Amino acid sequence: MSDATEPSLIARREGAAGTILMNRPHALNALDLPMIEGIARALADFRADPALRLVVLEGAGGRAFCAGGDVRRMRELALAGDAAGVEAFFANEYAMNLAIAEFPRPWISLIDGVCMGGGIGVSVHGSHRVVTEHALLAMPETAIALFPDVGTSYVLPRLPGALGNWLALTGARLKGAEAVEAGLATHFVPRDSLPALRAALLEGDAGAVERFAQPVPPGSIAAQRPAIDRCFGHETLPSIRDALAAEDSDWARDQLAILARMSPTSMAVTLELLRRGRTMSLADCLQMELRLTRKVTRHPDFAEGVRAVLVDKDNAPRWTPQAKIEDMFG
């Protein structure tokens, strides 16, 4: 267990592997700018090491892999009018996400605990996303009036059927096996097996992931897929709501209740973002997301959403819907 006096990021060479430990357990390993810059430096160092065979990414503390980016800090900067500070955070984070995608050797994330937002960004672009029975993955940005970022405008539209729209709009939380089933994770390994898997990885053996992985049989995601595709495979929010109303099931009513709590502007932006991302490269998606942060973080819903969910925690946001979503992409 680490504490606030220790480095928030520990990157080093261990055996044939480069290892990165996100080390802010008191903040559920949420990424701040120094951590993002540290991962970027480690990426460059590891890439330049010809003897390094793979990279292992982990989160400290046992509760979280990485709960996201430090959006509370982004809210403070936005309220202070520090557009340059907001820009620096997102620009550095997205450049780091792209560098992970372009890393030429296996990038293996051991996801044990909460993995949301920025945690998805540091793992989903790598070659191996290993989850345990304690993993919990989500992109919950519509609840704080942001949008699924860190390159997920590229990833989510490429998931099967309408899973991407469903995950993006509702912030649905997937347990470890469900994340493999949905395509966000690649392998399921029980928590008890992680130390032995890690030891094998330090020897440079990426194939160990396959040997330790357990099969994930069709489960709740497969059972929900027909309804998800029927209801969330539409291009507009009114059409999605109409489809859910017509579904007339407890699941559909739950989804409608969830959508009713989210930022209307964020949901509309998210649908358009994923529609565009479907045909774009990852690099172009990240550039689109960066442009969008400049508008979205200045919109009153962002500060209000972060206040309601993460600052005051009253979960009672007062939204100010944007009249023309096209203006957000301008």
Catalytic residue annotation: 69, 118, 141, 149
C-alpha to C-alpha distance for 106 and 104, rounded to whole angstroms: 7
| Strand-pair category, 128-131 with 174-175 | unpaired
Q: Hey, how many other C-beta atoms are within 10 angstroms of the C-beta on 330?
A: 8
**Mutual angle of helices 282-296 and 83-101, in 10-degree steps:** 160
CB-side neighbour CA atoms (13 Å) of 177? 11
Per the DSSP assignment, residues forming a β-bridge with 110 are 130
Q: What is the CA radius of gyration of the chain?
A: 19
Q: Hey, how many other C-beta atoms are within 10 angstroms of the C-beta on 5?
A: 5
| Cβ proximity of 183 and 163 under 8 Å | yes
